[in-house]
Amino acid sequence: MKPNCTNVEWHGRAKCAVCEVRNFVLFSGLSSQELDSILQPIDNLHVPQHAVLYEAGTVAPSVYTLRSGLIKLKVDLPNGGQRIVRLLRPGDVTGMETLVGERYHHTAIALQNTDVCRIPRAVVMQLDQTNPGIHLALQQRWQRSVDQADHFIVALSTGPAEARMARLLITLGCTGDHPETLPSREDMGALLGITTETASRIMAEFKRRGLVHGDRGSDVVCDRSGLTQLAEG
């Protein structure tokens, strides 16, 4: 049986386009047979909203690429709270810490219904050694993690809460075009290092000022330029 990635009859295959691993492998000049043997161990998983993809401290040698949805990486604080340190969007890779260590450093939880590919660490390591394309892609993913972490420090943990919230909405891709599904107020708080109540108050104020228009529920459309202005002040 062919692995999902190369099986044209698999219904979820359209989303593979964002999978770096598959893309690089496909263009690496391997034979179709070699290709299949490499891709075989790659599992496609559906992670329902609020489900845990992996838990901090767990030993499980797998790397994940996000095909659709939204995932938060959080760490639990000694006082019982939590702090979200990264948001994963389609195309992002997570769990790379298992390439150099054995345990996950965060707990990964789906904020929306999400599809991921689970790639055994051995597969990544093998490809990394034999395929220069994968090698570069891996480095880029690593750097991307660093960049995203830096963004959390600079944009989401610096300045007054209002400006941070504005930056969060922009980061989430809340444009004026299409409605965007936002995280809960609690998660917003954990993202920005503020309380749930403050997050709620700020969002309510944004709605009153017309910076976000709520088409009922948590689906909103944002005033990009207005938010950008707030983000800088």
Partner DNA sequence: CGTTATGTTGACCTCCTTCAAAGGCTGTGG
Partner DNA sequence: CCACAGCCTTTGAAGGAGGTCAACATAACG
The stretch among 33-41, 99-107, 108-116, 176-184 that binds its own copies (CB under 8 A) is: 99-107
For residues 160 and 40, give the distance between their C-alpha atoms in angstroms, rounded to a whole number: 49
Largest CA distance in the chain: 59
| Shortest reach from residue 187's CB to DNA, in Å | 8
**DSSP calls for 71-121:** EEEEEE-TTS-EEEEEEE-TT-EE-GGGGTSSB-SSEEEESS-EEEEEEEH
Q: Which one, 14 or 77, has the nearer CB to DNA?
A: 77
Q: Which does 218 bind (CB under 5 to 8 A by kind): its own copies, DNA, none?
A: DNA
| Shortest reach from residue 62's CB to its own copies, in Å | 16
Q: Which one, 96 or 221, has the nearer CB to its own copies?
A: 96
| Shortest reach from residue 2's CB to its own copies, in Å | 31
CA–CA distance from 152 to each of 91, 158, 169, 223 (Å)? 19, 9, 13, 22
| Shortest reach from residue 101's CB to its own copies, in Å | 7
For residues 102 and 57, give the distance between their C-alpha atoms in angstroms, rounded to a whole number: 9
83 binds its own copies (CB under 8 A): yes
77 binds its own copies (CB under 8 A): yes
How does DSSP classify residue 184? P
Out of 14, 17, 122, 149, name the contact with its own copies by CB under 8 A: 149
Tell me if residue 193 falls in helix, strand or coil. Answer: coil
148 binds DNA (CB under 7 A): no
99 binds its own copies (CB under 8 A): yes
The stretch among 29-37, 125-133, 166-174, 185-193 that binds DNA (CB under 7 A) is: 185-193
| Rg (the chain; Cα; Å) | 19
The stretch among 8-16, 97-105, 114-122, 211-219 that binds its own copies (CB under 8 A) is: 97-105
Name the nearest CA neighbour of 226 among 181, 185, 183, 170.
Answer: 170
82 binds DNA (CB under 7 A): no
Cβ burial, residue 108 (10 Å; 0-12/13-18/19+):
buried
For residues 91 and 110, give the distance between their C-alpha atoms in angstroms, rounded to a whole number: 15
What residues make contact with DNA under the rule CB under 7 A?
A: 160-162, 184-186, 193-198, 200-201, 203-204, 217-218
What residues make contact with its own copies under the rule CB under 8 A?
A: 75, 77-79, 83, 85, 96-97, 99-101, 105-106, 128-129, 132, 135-136, 139-140, 142-143, 145-147, 149-150, 152-154, 157-159, 193, 232-233
